[in-house]
């Protein structure tokens, strides 16, 4: 979808109010070989999005749909390995992938919706 103003392409993911503060939500985008999973985290600092792939194994971070945060909502958690990532930049603070980072995905808010800007991460 184009923004109609000659700007970057974007894809509507969901309404902004579909994700509480703090909260997270996963999205499966594309089909076949182009299919990708991402997730969006919302906290008092705003929105951030990352590819749903742990740097340790490449597997998804969530066991339960839309559950990417620790119970206190202060970090991103890999449910498989217990790795903890900073919300602000996806940097792994603890776990088997310490020192590595999640792959960021560009998102924005347009007209009350969270949108993916550009193409899916590879």
Residue 8: per-residue pLDDT? 62
Residue 5: per-residue pLDDT? 46
Residue 28: per-residue pLDDT? 93
**Cβ atoms of 69 and 78 closer than 8 Å:** no
CA dihedral over 97, 68, 24, 66, signed as positive or negative:
positive
Structure tokens at 39: 């997730």
Residue 121: per-residue pLDDT? 60
Residue-range domain boundaries for the chain = 10-117
Give the CATH superfamily of 10-117: Rieske [2Fe-2S] iron-sulphur domain (2.102.10.10)
HSE-CB at 116 with a 13 A cutoff on CA atoms is 24
Structure tokens at 81: 């390995």
Residue 66: per-residue pLDDT? 94
Distance CA 75, CA 40 (A): 13
Residue 9: per-residue pLDDT? 84
The answer to whether the pTM exceeds 0.75 is yes
pLDDT tens sequence for the chain (122 residues): 444 444 568 899 999 999 999 999 999 998 888 789 999 999 998 999 999 999 998 899 998 999 999 999 999 999 998 999 999 999 999 999 999 999 999 999 999 999 999 876 66
């Amino acid at each position: 979808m184009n923004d109609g103003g000659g700007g970057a392409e974007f894809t509507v993911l969901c309404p902004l109010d579909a994700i509480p503060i703090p909260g997270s939500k996963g999205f499966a985008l594309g089909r076949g070989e182009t299919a990708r999973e991402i997730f969006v985290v919302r906290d008092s600092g705003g929105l951030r999005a990352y590819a749903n792939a742990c740097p340790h194994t490449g597997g998804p971070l969530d066991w339960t749909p839309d559950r990417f945060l620790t119970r206190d909502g202060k970090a991103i958690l890999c449910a498989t390995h217990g790795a903890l990532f900073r919300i602000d930049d996806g940097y792994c603070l603890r776990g088997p992938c310490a020192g590595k980072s999640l792959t960021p995905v560009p998102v924005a808010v347009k007209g009350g919706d969270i949108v993916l800007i550009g193409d899916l991460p590879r």
